[in-house]
Every structure is written in C-alpha cells, then in structure tokens.
Structure 1
C-alpha cells in the first residue's frame, strides 16, 4: 500500500473520534451564548455546558488513540479500542514530567518543558496506529493450553503495553528535539513581521494533523519567545500602559484567523457538500452544517478540518496556504482582533471593545472574500482531481459486509461476510493470500501459490471462472458484488484452506462456444457505447475477458472520448476509478462496459463520470468522458470489452457490427431469448 493510501486509511479511522466533535462545539457554543462575558464564570448553567463540551475537546488525544485503533482494526472489534486506550495510558504516563524525572534521576524542575505537552493529538494518532497494527497481527494468535486464556484479543493489550514502553523510551530522547526545533523555528519567523505572521499561520494549520501546532502556538501566544500575544491582547488598556502591547501590532498572530474560521471553512463545507454523491448529500449536509456552525460561531474547526485533511491532503495544504495569506493580509493592514478561546463570532464580538482592536470590522469583508475563494478553489480541486472528500467515497470495508446482498452470478441472496470467508478458503486460506483487490466483476488476488486455488469450490460459491495469471496472481469472476466481497475479505480474520480435493493447477474458464440460432426472438439490441473499431473478444489482451469468463460480447478500440449507455436501463455500478460501469437493462441483462485493460491502475486519471450510480439512462446517453491522449499513452491497452455478464440466462448473442462503429448509433449485438 502506498503512503497516501495508508494516510487515507488513517483519515477514515479518524472519522470515528471526529464524529464526537460537533457535540463539543454545540455544547460549548450554547454555554458561550448564555454567558459571553464570563465564559461560564458568571452563570452555572453556562459553565455546565462549557465544561461538558470541554470534556471532549480537552481529551481529543485519547479519543484519537481509541478511535484510530478501532477504525484501523481489521474487524472493528471493541478489543482494538481497548488496546488503543491501554497504549495511550502507558505511553503518556511514562513520558509525563514526573515519570521522566524519576526514570532519568533528575529534578522535576529540570525536565524539558516538552514533556508537559506530551498529551497531544500526535501521540494519540501514533498510539492508535501502533495499537491497530498489533491488533491486526496478533489478535488471532493461539497460546499453549496453559496460557490459553490470554490468547487472541486478550493478548494484544499485554503486547501493546510492552511495545509502548519501548516507544516511550524513544520519545524521551526524540520528543524534546522535535519540540525544541519548533520553538527555534518560531523565534526565527518572529523577526519577519507581517510575513512571519503569515508563515506562522501556514505552519499552525499544517501541524494540526499531528497535534504539534501547540508547541508552535506557545511561541507566539504564550511568552515562550517574548511575544505573549493572547494574554497581552486580553489585557487591553493595562497591557498598553505597562508597555507590553502595541496598537496595530499586538494581535497580529490572531486576527487573520477570523476570516478563515468564520467564513473560509464554511465556504469549503459548502463545496464539499455540493460535490458529494446525490445519495450521500443528506448525510454530508448534517456533518458540514454542524462543522460550519462550530467554525463560525465558536472557532472550533476540527470537525471540518479532520473531515478532509487525511482523505484529501492536497486540500489541507491549500487550506494552510490560504490561512497564511489571510493572517499576512490582516497583519499588514493592521486589521486587528484577538481571541481568548478561538477565532469565532463570540470572540470577535467580545474583542471589538478592546482598545487593542483596530479596524476589526474589516475582517468581515475580508472573510466574505475568503468564503468565495474557499468555495471556488475547493470545488474546482475536488472535481478536477476526483478527491474522495466526505460523501464522494464508495462504501468502505465493513460498512456493508455484515448485511445480505445478491450474488449476481448465482442470483441467490448470500451473507457477504460468510461468502468472503469461503472465497478465502477457496484460494488456500489466509496463509496463502497476500493481497486483495477488486475490479468491476472480479476479485484480483495476490497469492503465494496459485496452484492451490480450489476452482471447484469457487464455482460452487457462484464464480463463473478462475483465471491464473501467473504463480502469484489469481482473478475470480464473481459478478457485480466483487468489490463488496473484496472489502469483506479484507476485514475477515484468519481462515483455513478448504479441504476439497478439487483444487486444480490448470487454468480454468475456457471460451464458451457460440452457437446461437439467428431466428430466435431478439430480446435486446445493444448499440456501440463508444466510437471506434470492432475487436473480437478473443483478441482482448486479458485472459478473463478473452476466455469469456466475465461474459460474452465484443470489444472496441475507441477513437472518441465519449462513452454512452449501450441500452436503456439503470447504472447499477460505476467503479470508483471511473474506468468501467455496469448497466442493468429493462429486460434484466447485465452489461459490463470496461474501458481499456488494467486501467484501474491509473487511479481514475483520464476518466470522468457524467452520471452517478443509480441513474436511469437512455440508449446513447453519455456516461463517461475519456482523455484519450493520456489513456493511449499510459494504459496497457485501450481495447474495451462490452460484455453481457449473465449471458447464461439467455440463448446467447449474435454480433451485428463490423468495422467502424459510431457511439449510440451502430447496432453492436443482439441478445437472444431462451428457446
């Protein structure tokens, strides 16, 4: 798995604890509304709400440890969450100032200040990742009978405790270096004036994913390097009189955050909502509205930022850069407002009467401009690069694996989780399986030895064919549920190999002979889905298609960019990389249009979807758009199969096309009814 792919896994796992943050934002927002002056000090009810919300915000690090451990675990078991919590307690206790003082035999006053900041998001995420990896690796281990009580899931917290001792030992020497480097960096950019304020703001946002922004904030906000921006600003007239504050200067490390938190991020939330898939928009609206309200009213931005920082890192870098620009502009123009909590509406109103606030009202038109910028930039970037922001992703592993679904090949309802276990057994068990992926109708599996794959069992499970590409690569044709089965396989625990004697070492799925009577009734006539040259199916450079294991049909070498529906029906599936789609016609035929060979490896580049899953389309209606120049230069082959995957439900098909085809016009082939 690539680094980006791993970060996206972390990002999806982070959505577990992030889902608690809107609750914190609402609770604290209500409290600040009740008592905007005393911040809970003058009203018991306000204090009740504020403290309730703070209980969540102040413990984000441990929530991250638990949530990441749970979210990245292979079976989403509560034991993984417990492991994350145990790991966090051990690590933060060993790296606390008191423990470091005792372990290193030095006075607690001499312990580096960095250890007072050890309870942060970075440590929480680190612990969560390590705990999840340990859980995934050791939760199935069986110990000797005398120790059997500690086998499996019970073993993992014990192992995690010992591993965290080693991690704590490393952090005792590494953490002060990391923390000290950030302080030195802050002292350097302090000398750069307004430009330095913008640079600080850029790195402030950039460090949030690992929780290290607190170290940087302490330099500019809390007198680590002589700046003390927040206390001096809140001191107002007293700070001016004492010579600790300068009008137009004090607050420049805070002011430019108001346009971003109150306006920019809500603009991003609107773009994310509008880019979500139609079926997900209602769910995304709730998340984005809560996050936008939290950012605007209280300045709590985590619900929005964590919703895209890992699944679409490029957006987060853009967000950090725009924050830096905003803070630079406000500092340069001396548009100053400060905050005691964060840069939301409450703090803006409270700071407006502070004598250090200068032209603070100009931050509002600046914010309106940034709302437009964020909306346009985020929407363009999401759609241009097909980023998987909330609501655009397909179902992830575990979301559907526990339900019932239809096996398209066999037409029977089967438990997908159980089906996944049986397919693992068919390929030689977990010990033989080294990688799991899926294309539109087939499982793409990496194995240690393809010779042990049980073809007979796979076919009894509903597979229409097994293709051995080489000694370590196998493809099993299972129909439109391939992705769901693959996702379920990824979250299935250890499975033993099947005990059947039917395992074969010879390639399966030979081409089915075509002997169809032309005088049989024609059930359906398909038109060419793309303009180009007709290619016989057995000439497709892919064994699964050429052998007709996926289904019967023809192929086309495209000459035009637009791919249309070959018949009227419903688009039941568009692969997340947009290189293929499945169409169920009104007559029940299941048509697979697969543009190119191994184009799934291009990760969506060169393809753009024009309709969404579930859409009803007419014959000839555009479904995909291709960048043919890019695809011809980068794809293994652009020969594109168009097959009927459930052709066994009919008598067969008769090819009608020859030579050059025109999309949406040239008859491609007829599907014949049963005799």
Structure 2
C-alpha cells in the first residue's frame, strides 16, 4: 500500500511541473498592474487570466498527470481515461445533479458537493484511469466487438468504473469532506502553531511520498482553504495578512536554511571526501535556493542521517510559526525558491516580501550551527563522512554524457533482463527489479549519481538530480 501511495506522489510531479508557468504569468500581470490586479490594464488582465487558466484547473491537471504517471507505459490513452473519469464523477456529483436525485432545491444540497471538483477527486480519477488502462489495454473482444478491443475499450471501462465510484462517493464524499474541513479548521484554529504543524508534517512525509495529499488540503480548494490559489488571485475568501500563511514559512528554509545545512555538511566532511561532497551538496543547495526543489539535497542525507532529517522537519515547523506571527506573506506556484519569491512581490496577498532577507539569514545561521553540532555530536554519516571506500570512477553528470551514465546505471541494475519496470520522478530513476542480488551499487555509483535507495527487495531508486529525464530516456532506449 505504501509503495502504491509513493507512486501516486511521484505521478503528481508531472502536473505540479506546470505550475511555474502560472507563476510567471501571474508575476508579469501583477507587476504591470499591482493595484488593480488586471482591472486597470488589458495587458495585465491578459496575463493574469492566462495564469488562472492553469491554477483554476488544478484538479483536471492532477487527473491527467496521475493517470499518465501511473500507467505502465505512460500512454496518452491513460490520460484520456483519467479525464473521462474526472468529468463523469464531477458531473454526476455536481450540486445540480444531486439536487435532481434528491428532488430538492440546489440550496438544500450539502456543501460538500459544491466542492466536488477538487484536487482529491482529480487524484482519484487519475488512479481510476490508470488502473483501468493497465488492466484492460490488451483486452481482446469477440470479432463483432473487435473495434473496441485493446486501448479503445479503456475509456469505456473507465466510464463504468467511474459511475460506480460516483455512486459510492454520493454517500461517502460528504463524510470525507467533513473530515478534511474539520482537520483544516482545527489547524487554522491553532493559528501559528497550526502552520508549524502543517509545515513540519509536509517535510516529514516526503520520504513516504504522502506530502502531496496533505498539500491538497491546505494549498488547493479541497477543504475550502485554497491558500495557493487565493494568494495569487485575490479572489473572494482571500484575507490580506492571512492568506499565504501555509506557504511563507518554507522560503527561509529552502532559500537559506537548507543551503546553510549543506555548508555545514561540507565543513564536517572528511578532508579526503570534501571535493566529492562539495559536488553533491553544491548542486542540491543551488537547486533549493533558486527553484525550491529540495529533493536532491534532502535525499543526500535523509536516509544516511534520519535524525538530522527530523531536525530539518522540526526547524521547518519553527520557521512557519515565526513567519505566521510576523506581518509577512509570500507565496509560490512551484516551490519556495528565489524565482517564486521575486514573482510574488506584486501578488495581491503579498505582505512585506523583503522581510524574507533578515529572517532567511537568521535561519541560515541556525541551520548551520545546529546541523554542525548534531553531525559532530552524533557522528552522523552525512555526505563525505561515510566510511572510506574505493574512489568511484566513470561518467559524471556534469559532462552531460547521458548515454554513458545510462549504460553504467543499467549494468549496475543487473541488465535489461533484471528490470521489470522503469520510471522516474523529479530527481530519481525508479526501477522494479526481478532479482535484488543482481544489483551492484558500486557499479551504479560509478555513473556519478547522488545516491541509491532500496526501499524493498524489488525496488531500486537511483538519485540522479534535475537531469533525471535525460538519463531515463537513454535507459528506455536501451531497454
């Protein structure tokens, strides 16, 4: 079950990768017309509306992205199935439809059905679409139905599965919605402490890939909070000085804290390993600072020093609490990096974005000091502190020789015959293997990758970094 949830989380990276486009468009529009938010400028309104075309359709993007990401061969037919599922569920359970079923006025329909088009339903539709695709894409029907054989029957089966799902949700969704609202309300009721709890859980759940489900409650409109959408749109429900509180606290950590933690890990590395550690840590620190992509850096010590990672999660919660207490609100469309910070200066709900600089510098010092003390005190095996091993040789990602890198990774995974399934996420190659004894980690490391994770006997994850797609494409060619 956990493995399945991790796969869903990984699949969400595809639609999430679309959000920077919305951030850029919003940023341009608000810079042109920071006071009217598009009302005083046709050009600004054009950019803002273009951005909202993405943000307002997050549930559909999730349905398509999850469906494609979880399909065994990532075929476009799966995307169609996910979209069919989403459209059927949201149409069958719309307020107007439910009012017709009940024979009552729309105003008497439970509020849950007015929120049926949300990120959670998008993810569910994606799971239904991909499951139907994987199960029925090779179906052979009798000659008189041969036209609907194979991939053509996927959408039909998906429609049937979605009708059944909608029937179940007719009774279950109001309960789920009430639970989500109760959880979100409880966190909101805790004020700054609630922001801190959310931020800490966000980081703590990353190793399990479950943080996306949590984000759907607070960043999107699953439970009526919609922190991300309201921050950029300034629509009804947005409150200046409040909206953005579930995003602001990540900026000091991602832009200053984690890079400072990387510096602490470099300074505590063995002298003979400093050069090797610097290459890994610097790349991760730059990605975290500029884009807010933290996986390359977090995975560099997450499993080597889990205690240190828990310290990082706790510090993220502290950052969120402090930022919520201050007259300070900034937001992101992709992640809490430099690009989104600059773009959010003119966002409708932005409050004193400049405060990030002093707070970030303080958190940089805190991260450096605490990381250094904890690493040395408990002799943690962070990058550059592991037991000495024979120096690895082979391809280096910085050379962009993706064919050579892929060849080394494939050999280390045991060759073509040992791979059942191959996929990738934002930073990792994910391989399902037949025989775990055939995996040679030293051979894989010769490719210059950041690390290797083996969650189970049948799964190997190779940490590549932001260039993972190019290595994956070469591997697919070889397979």
Q: TM-score range by the shorter chain?
A: 0.5 to 0.7
Pairing of 1:192-591 with structure 2 (within 5 A): 192=190, 194-196=192-194, 198-199=196-197, 209-210=212-213, 211-213=216-218, 214=220, 218=224, 233-234=239-240, 251=241, 254=244, 257-261=247-251, 263-267=252-256, 304=293, 322-331=315-324, 334-338=325-329, 344=341, 364-370=357-363, 482-487=414-419, 489-490=420-421, 571=446, 577=452
1:91–1:167 contact (8 Å) kept in structure 2: yes
- TM (norm. structure 2) is 0.61
Q: Taking structure 1 as reference, are residues 341 and 7 closer, same or farther at Cα in structure 2, changes over 3 Å only?
A: closer
* Comparing 111-120 and 313-322, the one that deviates more: 313-322
- Structure scoring higher RCO (CA < 8 A, sep ≥ 6) equals 2
1:140 CA displacement: 0.5
The answer to whether residue 182 in structure 2 is matched with residue 184 in structure 1 is: yes
Match of 1:151 in 2: 149
- Give the equivalent residue in structure 1 for 2:63: 65
Change (3 A) 1:105 1:124: same
Cα distance change of structure 1 residues 217 and 118 upon mapping to structure 2, 3 Å threshold: closer
Aligned mates of 1:53, 1:272 — CA distance in 2: 34
Tell whether the 8 Å contact from 1:32 to 1:50 is kept in structure 2 after alignment: yes
Find the aligned partners of 1:602 and 1:490 in 2 and give their Cα distance: 10
Do the aligned partners of 1:14 and 1:67 also contact (CA within 8 Å) in 2?
Answer: yes
Where 2:39 maps in the other structure, the secondary structure is: coil
> What is the aligned partner in structure 2 of residue 28 from structure 1?
26
**Distance change >3 Å, CA 116–CA 368, structure 1 → 2:** farther
Equivalent-residue separation in structure 2 for 1:8 and 1:131 (angstroms): 17
How big is the alpha-carbon RMSD for the aligned residues of Structure 1 and Structure 2?
A: 5.6
Deviation at 1:123, TM superposition (A): 1.4
User: Which deviations, in whole Å up to 9, do the C-alpha atoms of 1:371-401 show, x marking residues without a partner?
Assistant: 5667897x99985999xxxxxxxx9xxxx99
- What's the CA shift string for 1:510-546, capped at 9, x where partnerless? xxxxxxxxxxxxxxxxxxxxxxxxxxxxxxxxx999x
| 8 A contact 1:259–1:367 mirrored in 2 | no
Cα pair distance change 1:272/1:61, threshold 3 Å: farther
**Does the 8 Å contact 1:256/1:329 carry over to 2?**
no
TM-score normalized by structure 1?
Answer: 0.46
Does structure 2 conserve the Cα–Cα contact (< 8 Å) formed by 1:100 and 1:111?
A: yes
Sort the Cα spacing of 1:220 and 1:31 in 2 relative to 1 into closer, same or farther, 3 A: closer
Q: Could you tell me which residue of structure 1 aligns to residue 46 of structure 2?
A: 48
- What are the superposed Cα offsets for residues 574-611 of structure 1, whole Å, 9 maximum, x if unpaired? 997589xxxxxxxxxxxxxxxxxxx9849899xx9xxx
Contact kept, 8 Å, 1:61 with 1:123, in 2: the verdict is: yes
Are 1:128 and 2:115 counterparts?
Answer: no
Q: What is the aligned partner in structure 2 of residue 16 from structure 1? A: 14
Q: Distance in 2 between matches of 1:604 and 1:481?
A: 8
Distance in 1 between the 2:19 and 2:285 partners? 10
Tell me by how many angstroms 1:146 deviates: 0.4
In structure 2, C-alpha distance between the alignment counterparts of 1:335 and 1:142, rounded to whole Å: 63
Bigger share in helix: 2
Q: Is the 8 A contact 1:256 1:363 kept in 2?
A: no
**Deviation readout 1:16-71 (Å, 9 max, x if unpaired):** 22332222222222222222222222222222222222212221211121122112
Counterpart of 2:100 in structure 1 is 102
| SS of residue matched to 2:72 | coil
Q: CA, structure 1 residues 191+148, in 2 after alignment: closer, same or farther (shift >3 Å)?
A: closer
For structure 2, the residue ranges without an aligned partner over 5 or more in a row are: 228-233, 266-275, 334-339, 387-396, 424-434, 464-479
Separation of aligned partners in 2, 1:571 and 1:364: 39
Q: Is the Cα–Cα contact under 8 Å of residues 258 and 364 in structure 2 kept in the other structure?
A: no
Which stretch shows the higher mean deviation, 309-318 or 359-368? 309-318
5+ long unaligned stretches in structure 1: 222-227, 235-250, 296-303, 387-394, 409-439, 442-478, 493-542, 551-562, 580-598, 609-675
The aligned residue for residue 477 of structure 2 is none
Q: Which has the larger radius of gyration?
A: 1
Task: Supply the distance in 1 between the matched residues of 2:436 and 2:221 (Cα, whole angstroms).
Answer: 55
Contact 1:577–1:604, Cα closer than 8 Å, also in 2: yes
Describe the superposition over 1:61-97 as per-residue Cα deviations: whole angstroms up to 9, x where unpaired.
Answer: 1112112211221222111111111111111111221
> What's the offset of the Cα at 1:129?
1.6
Q: Matched residues in 2 for 1:176 and 1:576: separation?
A: 44
2:394 equivalent in structure 1: none
CA contact (8 A) 1:199 1:324 kept: yes
Supply the distance in 2 between the matched residues of 1:229 and 1:23 (Cα, whole angstroms). Answer: 20
The aligned length equals 387
Q: Measure how far apart 1:174 and its partner are.
A: 1.9
Higher strand proportion:
1
CA distance in 1, matches of 2:453, 2:201: 35
- CA distance in structure 1 between the aligned counterparts of 2:342 and 2:42, rounded to whole angstroms: 22
Take 1:44 and 1:218, find their aligned partners in 2: how far apart are those partners?
30
- Specify the SS of the correspondent of 1:490: strand
